[in-house]
Amino acid sequence: MARMTMIEAVRSAMDVSMGRDDNVVVFGEDVGYFGGVFRATQGLQAKYGKTRCFDAPINESGILGTAIGMAAYGLKPCVEIQFADYMYPAYDQITQEAARIRYRSNGDFTCPIVVRMPTGGGIFGGQTHSQSPEALFTHVCGLKVIVPSNPYDAKGLLIAAIEDPDPVMFLEPKRLYNGPFDGHHEKPVTPWSKHDLGEVPEGHYTIPIGKAEIRRPGDAVTVVAYGTMVHVALAAAEETGIDAEVIDLRSLLPLDLDTIVQSVKKTGRCVVVHEATLTSGFGGEVVSLVQEHCFYHLEAPMVRVTGWDTPYPHAQEWDYFPGPARVGRALKEVMEG
């Protein structure tokens, strides 16, 4: 089996999908000849031509509006927003048009688009290249929201997203593009070539949207995470020696609530970790659902470990970024509760 970085896995997913279906088109800022700012689309224009992989103007609203029209016409656009921070001009098109087409047309039209966007921090990108806006999408009926944590999942989920008949927001944690970053910025990152989840089939496969994965079984406490924070949570569990069960959500909407509930009913404790700001972050939704479904099984108050309620601070990157030390303190707190 091939070894791939997450960038290569994402590229392979688009390549496989374009090869199987002539209606799949890829476009966005610099994604054509240049191959994208992270090189995720490198080589696709040369292979499939300028009508199927092409550059768009620096106009996120225009990119999404064009994609929606293409989808209504019968194409399957997979578009790139260069950084998740740039999606705000397109938010109206995503939420008011793409998300509602099936509903407003009584099922006569669907909107099979995928919106790829690098998300999160850890690269010293500052306040305009480090945001995690996933909760702004999970609040919108009609969207699906995916945040993979490794190359194997990234490829399988992206192919599934491209084949899905409805709009999918596909957020790629850029700090994971080249290796499974666990929050220890002072240490070299292990490359995906030396990680089991860096093994990626070269052909077509899909992973069901809406199904979480237990990355580490345990009996003492449930840790719910996604994206980069999955690796941070795994490091915290290892370093504290606490028998934590780590759940990788993979899909935020639809959410695999059954896996979370079964785990919390077993452990009686829950910690939720995400990189986005605390207030109105997706962790608040997870905590509310656990409270509703597991109240009589909880043995301690739940704890959220998140980014701070501030703009992403360039100079204090690692104070803002939830690392294994902060997650470890939360694990100890719930165990003592």
Known catalytic residues are 129
Report the alpha-carbon distance of residue 280 to residue 287 in Å, rounded. Answer: 11
Residue 222 backbone dihedrals phi, psi, to 5 degrees: -95, 130
Residue 275 per-residue DSSP state: E
Pairing of the two strands 53-55 and 251-253: unpaired
HSE-up of residue 222 (Cα within 13 Å, Cβ side): 28
Report the alpha-carbon distance of residue 160 to residue 154 in Å, rounded. Answer: 10
Torsion sign over Cα 275, 220, 179, 138: negative
Number of other residues whose CB lies within 10 A of the CB of residue 319: 11
Report the alpha-carbon distance of residue 294 to residue 253 in Å, rounded. Answer: 20
In a 3-state reduction of DSSP, which class is residue 116?
A: strand
Report the alpha-carbon distance of residue 165 to residue 101 in Å, rounded. Answer: 11
Give the DSSP H/E element, type plus range, for residue 12. Answer: helix 6-20
Residue 99 backbone dihedrals phi, psi, to 5 degrees: -70, -20
Are 150 and 133 contacting, i.e. CB atoms less than 8 angstroms apart?
no
Q: Which residue type is seen at 61?
A: S
